Amino acid sequence: MFTGIIQAVGTLAALTPRGGDVSLTLDAAALDLSAVQLGDSIAVNGVCLTVTARNRQQFSVDCSRETLKLTTLGQLRPGARVNLEKALTLATPLGGHLVSGHVDGLARVESREEEARATSFWLRAPDELAHYIAKKGSVTIDGVSLTVNEVEGARFRLTIIPHTLAQTIMGEYLSGTQVNLEIDVVARYLERLLQGRVTAPPSAFAGLSGSPYA
């Protein structure tokens, strides 16, 4: 799990094909890797990946074909900048919201407009994910925990303060940029719980207090 508060911006140093998938090596000099162990998780542009090698300033991760297909990581080329966050611990301040690092789909930036010192982005979500996005709710864009300001169908607006633009890759977004989108994990589980009441056989609820099937 992660918080959606980006800890550093790294750079893709190398992309190495390996048996149909790839290994990514990232320069992460601004990220404290001293306590990172092999097998630990680091979110790269919001994608939870497992550390397979590291030194003081770099770490490597493997990306399956499924990850390359469903996220923007397959579009990266050496030199590309990426958002980085280490997995949270019980001592980590939860400054954003609970983020799983499991990308639900790709959103696309439709427009960018400066509003005083802030920057407003309109993005379009995949139609099948649009109903999860609510005004004043949370979404994760390339690993960044953000509040939705406005929703119009599958379109939603984000207002980004200068600090966030400077400390993440969001300052590089232009119209047409594809980004990794993760919906709020609470919305995902709530929907499944509601579906369970409909799809599970009545025997599944036998004896549960308050169940209509008890």
CA 147 – CA 137 distance, rounded (Å): 6
- Within a domain: residue 98? no
75 contact partners, CB below 8 Å, separation of at least 6: 178
Q: Return the pLDDT at 208.
A: 47
As a whole number of angstroms, the distance between CA 21 and CA 199 comes to 37
The full length of the chain comes to: 214
**CB-neighbour burial class of residue 203 (10 A; exposed 0-12, middle 13-18, buried 19+):** exposed
Domain residues for 50? Answer: 8-86
Residue 145: name the closest of 96, 86, 198, 108 by CA. 96
pLDDT more than 90, % of the chain: 80
Mean pLDDT over residues 113-140, rounded?
96
Our count of domains for the chain comes to 2
Same domain, 51 and 127: no
Question: Does residue 129 fall inside a structural domain?
Answer: yes
Q: Are residues 21 and 62 located together in one domain of the fold?
A: yes
CATH number at residue 51: 2.40.30.20
pLDDT at 196: 77
Do residue 78 and residue 121 come from a single domain?
no
What number of other Cβ atoms are within 10 A of residue 55's Cβ?
A: 8
Q: What is the pLDDT of residues 53-95, one digit of tens each?
A: 999 999 999 999 999 999 999 999 999 999 999 999 888 888 8
Domain assignment of residue 111, yes or no: yes
What does pLDDT average to over the chain?
91
Can you tell me the mean pLDDT for 180-203?
80
Query: Which token pair is 149?
Result: 């300001």
What is the tens place of the pLDDT at every residue in 131-186?
999 999 999 999 999 999 999 999 999 999 999 999 999 999 999 999 999 999 88
Kindly report the pTM of this predicted structure: 0.88
Each residue of 7-36: pLDDT tens digit? 999 999 999 998 889 999 999 999 999 999
